[in-house]
Structure 1
Amino acid sequence: MRVGFIGAGRMGAPMVSRLVAAGHHVTALGRSSEKCEALTELGATAAFDQATVADGADVVIVCVFTDEQVREICVEADLTATMRPGSVLVVHTTGSPHTAEQVASLAAPRHVDVIDAPVSGGPHDIAAAQLTVFAGGTDRAVAHARPVLESYAEPVLHVGPLGAGQRVKLINNTLFAAQIGLVAEGVRLGSRLGIDEPTLLKALVNGSAGSRALSGIAATGSADAFITRVGEFIGKDVAVVRSTAADLDTDLGLLDTVVDAGLR
């Protein structure tokens, strides 16, 4: 397929590499000559503007860091206005379901489908084609984009209509932050009980308290070091889920307190 790509950074660059390796023709946005050169080395065609990226593409992927950047690209710069009818826009950025719905309202009269498709995993998962995608959208749109997404993701989970992907991802990250908070509190308890942190972490990963969060903390060496490494990403997503919950007239309940322990 012809794939347009915006956001070839820490997560996006390995996606571009996998797409090219899978045989897709990729045109990616590079806003500087250095970035364009890096994209060319990955096997993609580099473009300086998003209209060129979208021109003739079957699927356009947006993988930027913040929800605000998604709105700048897809709403203010009106990305879908340059996409062809029948194509699909995939938004990997974790953000508000309302943003996906706003983008879709612009895209619908142009016969462009939108999928909110936040991801779980990191660059190493992309390289191994084992990234998890939570996709929200119509059956047709997800089926159309699936061969592209499966270049770097397994599983690609269709979790419901537009916006469902963001809701599932935000819950996922809230639970992950809560698990980090629980481990951090466990480490503090261990200190008070005279158990040093490395010994405690090594023991717990082999017990019923084991989790992906605990394994990540143990591999990093300490709860504080792990929180420092992932805090920016998790903190951003937790802020979005709190805002989204407030918009829906609800809150995080008991998770709120535990999440705060994992973001200190």
Structure 2
Amino acid sequence: MAHVAFIGLGRMGHGMAGRYLDAGFTVAVWNRSQAKAEDLIARGARWASTPADAADGADAIVTMVADDEASRAVWLGRDGAAAAKVGTLAIECSTVSYRHALDLARELRGRGLIYIDSPVTGLPDAAASGKLTLLVGAEPADLERARPYLVPLSTTIRHFGAVGSGTVYKLINNLMGAIQIAGIAEGLAIAEQAGLDMKLVLEAIETGVAASPQVLRHSKRMVARNFSGATFTAALRHKDAAYAVALAESLLSDAPLMGRAAVEAYARAKAVAPDDDEGKMIEIVSRQK
């Protein structure tokens, strides 16, 4: 029976780890807080005392943590998962910077592990039901070897090319999301302050050319100020946008103006409510002069 180590049991990781249990894998889990693992342990997962303990004997290690710093710590820190046996698959599902993805790949390959970057798109309910889209950067042979560990998580696997390419697309995706969400908030705030009928505004948005999945998902919640059950926080959106802008600045001759504006907008939201839903952006831009 295949053995998976799963590290990081946040909003997304918890459901993803559960998918491996559903699929009949032997699963070891580690998280900074053991409380988030209790129901997985009750379902048969083994609680690991450290990332290295989780990785011991694993065929594949899957990580889903917040950022570069957390990724570096769980892989390369004291008692890190990089201590796994030679030939183990190292599947990084976290959204990290492009530079970190390349550096981590080099470091883990140097230790004999097979590194794949596989950030995801989808909400926590998709993570728990195995309906994520995986954005993969890997050598073709490595992807085929990893596929049995990716299929339980996903309905779609998009292979963008070599290691790091999946991360590039994820950063593009989340930067566009940040720009759209900040734009939705600003547009709706203008409509509110101008006294428009917000029911009519929402109807017009939903049927207009500016509609997109992000617009449709956030506009009603913003108008209703309904931010319960945050699925993506202001702090995470700011982090992803900042990573994307750093990548853009390394590739584009002109400054990424829209990206920088989104980073600035989410820096403000992060300062006020870092762990609240990203849609609270409207409360930032709605403040009257």
The unaligned stretches of length 5 or more in structure 1 are none
- Structure 2 residue aligned with 1:133: 134
Aligned match of 1:256 in 256, 260, 263?
260
Question: C-alpha distance in 2, partners of 1:94/1:53?
Answer: 21
Give the number of aligned pairs: 264
TM-score by length of 1: 0.88
**Structure 1's 102 and 197: CA in aligned 2 closer, same or farther, altered over 3 A?**
same
Pairwise CA distance, 1:101: 1.6
Question: C-alpha distance in 2, partners of 1:234/1:36?
Answer: 25
**Structure 1's 35 and 260: CA in aligned 2 closer, same or farther, altered over 3 A?**
closer
2:203 counterpart of 1:202: yes
Contact 2:249–2:256 (Cα < 8 Å) also in 1: no
- Structure 2 residue aligned with 1:9: 10
SS at 1:205 equivalent: helix
2:109 counterpart of 1:116: no
Per-residue CA deviations over 1:152-209 (Å, capped at 9, x if unaligned) read 2121211111111111111101111111122223224433654233431233212322
TM-score by length of 2: 0.81
**Structure 1's 261 and 82: CA in aligned 2 closer, same or farther, altered over 3 A?**
closer
Question: C-alpha distance in 2, partners of 1:76/1:33?
Answer: 19
In the TM superposition, what are the counterparts of 1:175-190 in structure 2 within 5 Å? 175-190=176-191
Question: C-alpha distance in 2, partners of 1:84/1:162?
Answer: 21
Question: C-alpha distance in 2, partners of 1:82/1:70?
Answer: 14
Identity among equivalent pairs (%): 32
Runs of 4+ residues deviating >6 angstroms = none
Question: C-alpha distance in 2, partners of 1:255/1:223?
Answer: 27
Pairwise CA distance, 1:140: 1.9
Question: C-alpha distance in 2, partners of 1:219/1:126?
Answer: 24
The unaligned stretches of length 5 or more in structure 2 are 267-280, 285-289
In the TM superposition, what are the counterparts of 1:167-246 in structure 2 within 5 Å? 167-191=168-192, 194-222=195-223, 229=230, 230-246=233-249
Question: C-alpha distance in 2, partners of 1:211/1:194?
Answer: 24
The RMSD of aligned alpha carbons is: 2.7
Contact 2:51–2:81 (Cα < 8 Å) also in 1: no
Write the letter of the residue equivalent to 1:110.
R
- Structure 1 residue aligned with 2:59: 58
